[in-house]
Structure 1
Amino acid sequence: MTADGEQRRCQRVTVGFHNSGGTAVRSGEVTFGTHIIGALGVDWGTVASTVRLPVPLAPGARKSPTWTVCVDAWRVPLGMHIETRDVSVEWG
C-alpha cells in the first residue's frame, strides 16, 4: 500500500510480512523500486532503495511496517511524481 509523503519526491510504503516458516527470521533486506513518472504518464526511470527487514519475525508472526521512500529532489522536476511499484525481499 502506498500514500503520498510530505514532499512530492517521497511516498509512504506499507508492506505486509508473514513468517509462514518454522523458525524466526533474523535478518534480511527489503528493496523498493520507485518509478519517476512524467506529467504524461511516461516512466522516466526507476530508483532502487534498500532497508533492513523488521526483525526478528517469529514463526507465524505478521508485521506491516511503513517506510518513507524518497528520491533525490532533482530526479522529480515540477509536474512529475513518484510511484513505488516494485518491492522485493531477501531473507537472511
Structure 2
Amino acid sequence: MTVEFRNSGGTAVRSGTITLGTHIIGLLGIDWATISSTESLPVPVAPTSRTSKTWTVCVDDWRVPLGMHIETRVVAVDWS
C-alpha cells in the first residue's frame, strides 16, 4: 500500500506512526474482520513538502477463504 504524506505546516515532522487497517471482505461485501498494523512514518517531512512510502501488507491465507478479498485503508496517523 502506498500512502502520500503532505506537510502543510511550518515545521518538519520528525517522528510518528501510521496505523493501517486491513479489512477481510466476504463475497457479499460484509466486513468479517479487521487486522491492524502500525508502521513508522517516513521522516523527516520538511515544511510544505510531500513524500510517499510503500508498505507490504500481509495476511495469513487461512484468514481469507476462497471468494473473500482484502482491502487496506489508513486508520490513523500520529506525528510530532
TM exceeds 0.5? Answer: yes
Aligned-residue CA RMSD in angstroms? Answer: 1.3
Higher alpha-carbon deviation: 64-73 or 27-36? 64-73
Deviation at 1:29, TM superposition (A): 0.4
> Gaps (5+ residues) in structure 1?
1-12
1:25 to 13, 17, 31: 13
Return the TM-score normalized by structure 1: 0.78
**In the alignment, which residue of structure 1 is the partner of 2:56?**
68
State how far apart, in whole Å, the 1-side matches of 2:35 and 2:47 are: 32
Identity %: 71
Letter of the 1:64 partner, please give it: S
Match of 2:47 among 52, 59, 62: 59
Give the Cα–Cα distance (whole angstroms) in 2 for the partners of residues 45 and 90 of structure 1.
Answer: 23
The aligned residue for residue 9 of structure 1 is none
User: Could you tell which deviates more after superposition, 76-85 or 25-34?
Assistant: 76-85
- State the TM-score, normalizing by the size of structure 2: 0.88
Match in the other structure for 2:32: 44
Deviation at 1:23, TM superposition (A): 1.2
Runs of 4+ residues over 4 Å off in structure 1: none
**Pairwise CA distance, 1:73:** 2.0
